[in-house]
Structure 1
Amino acid sequence: MLSVLVPGGSGQLGGDLSALASPEVQVVAPSSSELDVTSAGSVIAAVNALAAAAAEAGRHPLVINAAAYTAVDAAETDEQRAFRVNADGARVLAAACSSRRVPLIHLSTDYVFPGDSTRPYEPEDPLGPRSAYGRTKAAGEDAVLGSGAQVWVVRTAWVYGASGTNFVETMRRLESERDTLSVVDDQRGSPTWSADLAAGLLNLARTIAEGHPPQRRVLHCTNAGETTWYGFARAIFEELGADPDRVKPCTTAEFPRPAPRPPYSVLSNEAWTKAGLTELRPWRDALHTYLTPTLPERQTR
């Protein structure tokens, strides 16, 4: 049985981890305002409380760090703040976990890679972040892996879910507001539903608690398959019952943003499955499940 602490618990992933709580898996998911990972005192107190409560209940304690500064464009002019959360906060949390011997799963991102590959990135491929956000997340990886904690870094990409701002919800809104819209067709990745990611992380957590942890400390976890943002948008329109031809392709150069986006950020899940962990389903199947419950509501508009 597990007792899991999820810093950053008010986000998409934290909400889905909380939804998977059961008698076998207890989940405490404080928001960033309730648990500031940059506050050493608060973090130490939270990890100590987790370890003590788990020991009393005969459970295995574990931390899944979902706390992150994820405003990719804002980080270009606020890198110091992003670094405090993504690197310093990760270091503080890992140190607290190390002192209490609590395993830590730390979430990272495809943005740590340069995006110039022609094949899916493996966990051991050289990093080369090209944005402030990517640099701070890479620094966070270094911090936790060098902390002495029992830690696993799990990189993911293109995450969407029921809460927060994400691509699927933006496309849902724009479908009802515009006749057509242009979406970049020269960036490729793997859309990942946060509910599937949450299930995958608990799969990893259970293997750690059962004493069969993966030997590799860096893993990738995304829904299977790949597409472009344009292809993703067309799929969203199709699932909503809208004409996908209303989505028009454009280039990254036609849609400039403050932070550079990786042209190619497909992550290989091979190390994940070789560790005996369950591969996440194809991204299109996940998208269908995510959007299907909303169709009756949409059709009554």
Structure 2
Amino acid sequence: MRVLITGCNGQVGHCLTEQLNIKENTVVLALSREDLDITDAAAVNKIVLKFNPNVIINAAAHTAVDNAEKEVELSFKINRDGPKYLAESAQKINAAMLHISTDYVFSGDKDGEYHPEDLTEPQSIYGHSKLAGELAVVAACDKHIILRTAWVFGEHGNNFVKTMLRLGKDRDALSIVGDQFGGPTYAGDIAGALIEIATQIETNKPVEYGIYHFSGFPHVSWFEFAETIFNSAKEQDIFDKTPALSSISTADYPTPAKRPANSKLATNKMVESFGIEASDWQAALSRVKHYA
């Protein structure tokens, strides 16, 4: 299996590269932003044709949600145009295109879990640009898997777990939003899910191409997530004393970009189609020392 990874220095991209590099009978070309500007159609086409992958996994994205409200053109170049060029190149060589998307394509107003076929209604520039990327991939490449995920954390890059551990060292008290709900998702599990999908495609198992959801379970609020992080940190002797936590509303913590109140993604389609269970984020936090 020949796999091209874009965005290899990001949270998921780093895990993808690590896991694929130790997978037997696999040739990996892992590219960072410096190695390949995915918004350059000619550069994308040249690299894809030269490497000739079976699978392209796009882990590159403009994920600065609040900055995106001002950086509209940049957001759409990276989140829409880049995936489009990758998908077009994949189509030329009959490769599969695996693309990571987000819960931000939804309004966040629904009761209960979001399913892949639910109506999309992004509320931010980031969400709009990611949805545009999904549509571009679907239109350009027949063999596409779009994997929507949420609340990503891991050992690499910036994320909520790292932020909590950093703030917890210096502060006696923290206020955390308690009225937004979702499934924290370990980056290593996202990488593992994508690799399993790629492997099933490569071994010619019948694959239903389309849109899937993969995130963590059980669903919690950001406040509950923070509680679990600090409890794990205390159990593993990272802190002698953890900060006092208080729950606040979204209205108490205004941000330039609107966050979905409900980011709960239904993952049953992943289980049924690929045998891949939801991310066990609590197990991932049992290694919380690695995030400090």
Quick check: TM above 0.5? yes
Tell me: CA distance 1:237–1:151, structure 2 relative to 1, closer, same or farther (3 Å).
same
d(CA) in 1 for partners of 2:65, 2:141: 29
1:138 partnered with 2:136: no
The CA distance in 2 between the partners of 1:293 and 1:96, in whole Å, is 37
Alignment map for 1:105-116 (pairs within 5 Å): 105-116=98-109
Q: Identity, % of aligned pairs?
A: 37
How big is each residue's C-alpha offset from its partner over 1:71-129, in whole Å with a ceiling of 9 and x where there is no partner?
10000011111000100111111111111111110110000000011111100001000
**Hey, what does 1:87 align to over in structure 2?**
80
Residue type of the alignment partner of 2:41: A
In 2, the alpha carbon distance for the partners of 1:105 and 1:96 equals 13
Number of aligned residues: 285
Deviation of the 1:245 alpha carbon: 6.5
Q: Which moved more, 1:237-246 or 1:161-170?
A: 237-246
Match of 1:264 in 2: 262
Structure 2 Cα separation of the partners of residues 28 and 238 of structure 1? 39
Would the aligned equivalents of 1:17 and 1:27 in 2 still touch at CA under 8 Å?
no
| Map of 2:276 onto structure 1 | 278
- Where in structure 2 are the equivalents of 1:122-137 lying within 5 Å? 122-137=115-130
Please state how far the C-alpha of 1:66 moved relative to its aligned partner: 0.5
Gaps of 5+ in 1: 55-60
- TM-score, normalised to structure 2, is 0.94
Pairing 1:282-301 to 2, within 5 Å after superposition: 282-289=280-287, 291-293=288-290
Q: One-letter code of the match for 1:77?
A: K
TM superposition shift of 1:133: 0.1
2:17 equivalent to 1:18: yes
Superposed counterparts of 1:139-288, under 5 Å: 139-241=132-234, 242=239, 246-288=244-286
Query: What is the rounded CA distance, in whole Å, between the counterparts of 2:282 and 2:207 in structure 1?
Result: 28
Q: Give the gaps of 5 or more residues in structure 2.
A: none
Q: How many Å separate the matches in 2 of 1:226 and 1:245? A: 23
Shift of 1:36: 0.7
Moved over 3 A (4+): 242-245
Tell me how far apart the structure 2 counterparts of residues 44 and 263 of structure 1 sit (CA, whole Å): 39
Aligned equivalent of 2:5: 6
Write the distance in 2 (CA, Å) between the matches of 1:25 and 1:120. Answer: 36
Q: CA deviation at 1:160?
A: 0.9
Question: 1:247 aligns to what SS in structure 2?
Answer: strand
Separation in structure 2 between the aligned mates of residue 27 and residue 225 of structure 1, nearest angstrom: 33
Partner Cα separation in structure 1 for residue 100 and residue 6 of structure 2: 11
SS of the residue corresponding to residue 223 of structure 1 reads coil
1:57 equivalent in structure 2 = none
Deviation at 1:32, TM superposition (A): 1.0
Whether the 8 Å CA contact 2:5–2:13 is kept in 1: the answer is: yes
2:286 partner SS: helix
Report if the CA contact (8 A) 1:98-1:149 is conserved: yes
Q: Deviation per CA, 1:245-301, whole angstroms, max 9, x where unpaired? A: 611111111110000000001100010001033213432122223x1556xxx7xxx
Residue 50 of structure 1, CA deviation: 2.2
Aligned equivalents of 1:216, 1:117: Cα separation in 2: 26
- Asked whether the equivalents of residues 203 and 277 of structure 1 are also in contact (C-alpha less than 8 Å), the reply is no
Contact (CA 8 Å) 2:186, 2:280: kept in 1 or not?
Answer: no
Instruction: Give the drift of 1:218.
Output: 0.5
C-alpha distance in 1 between matches for 2:176 and 2:26: 40
Cα distance per residue 1:45-70 (max 9 Å; x no partner):
1111221xx6xxxxxx2110011110
Deviates more, 1:271-280 or 1:120-129: 271-280
Q: Is the 8 Å Cα contact of residues 87 and 139 (structure 1) preserved in structure 2?
A: yes
Give the secondary structure class of the aligned counterpart of 1:97: helix
Whether the aligned pair in 2 keeps the contact of 1:224 and 1:279 (CA below 8 Å) is: no
Q: Deviations over 1:3-32 (max 9, x none)?
A: 211111111111101111223333221111
C-alpha distance in 2 between matches for 1:5 and 1:225: 32
Name the CA distance, whole Å, in 2 between partners of 1:119 and 1:219.
17
CA separation in 1, counterparts of 2:279 and 2:36?
A: 32
Q: Secondary structure at the match of 1:256?
A: coil
Residues 179 and 70 of structure 1: CA distance in aligned 2, closer, same or farther (over 3 Å): same
